[in-house]
Structure 1
């Protein structure tokens, strides 16, 4: 098992080493909090698959370029462990499930979503 952890890591490893001020998303009830928070400050949700190298590359690029901690709240979803939350995000915000994927939630709705190589902090800044 440690062999796979060394290759793929875990969601705890990934968010603990990051410069991004991640908020762990692991409960469906947090989505109501996100909707409420998004009325005061935009919320970004990053959906990540710990078993996918493309997702890992997107995450690393996002973390490298991210400098918006004062402007947005940023949630991290390990979608392999919390697939029910990911499914609820898709239905609640009317987006097709992707992995990796980011969403911007503003005033309770998803105003932007991107996946795979389209996850880009510069574009995120434009959308805010």
Structure 2
């Protein structure tokens, strides 16, 4: 299973960008108070359990780390939503989706198409 790492600082985010040069990165923006986000997070974790260490996995808690969430929106050019998931390769967002579209199948399909 890919180890899930919390993003809490600009340095953490820079590490995620850099690691995307070696292998794909999945980044999940999670609202810890939202039931839709809880369901999407379960899908994200289920995917991570199946994938092994083929990618690096990160998460930002949008309420607790609002500045980090805003920085991600700014750096990716993708409007903030939560829950939201990004597939990043070679320091570029190659796919993203949000809310109920975050499923183990949608993530798997995005990874296959990249």
Is the structural similarity TM-score above 0.5?
A: yes
Which runs of 5 or more structure 2 residues have no equivalent in the other structure? Answer: none
Q: State the secondary structure of the residue aligned to 1:29.
A: helix
Asked if the contact 1:28/1:84 (under 8 Å) is kept, the reply is no
Q: How many equivalent residue pairs?
A: 110
Alignment-derived partner of residue 15 in structure 2: 33
In the superposition, relative to structure 1, how do residues 114 and 125 fare at CA in structure 2: closer, same or farther (>3 Å)? same
Q: Any residues of structure 2 matched to 1:75-114 within 5 Å, and which?
A: 75-114=58-97
Offset at residue 101 of structure 1 (A): 0.5
Looking at both structures, which has the greater relative contact order when contacts are Cα pairs under 8 Å and sequence separation is at least 6? 2
Distance 1:64 1:40 in 2: 23
Distance 2:107 2:59 in 1: 16
Runs (4 or more) in structure 1 with deviation over 6 Å come to none
TM-score by length of 1: 0.79
RMSD of aligned alpha carbons: 1.5
Which runs of 5 or more structure 1 residues have no equivalent in the other structure? Answer: 1-18
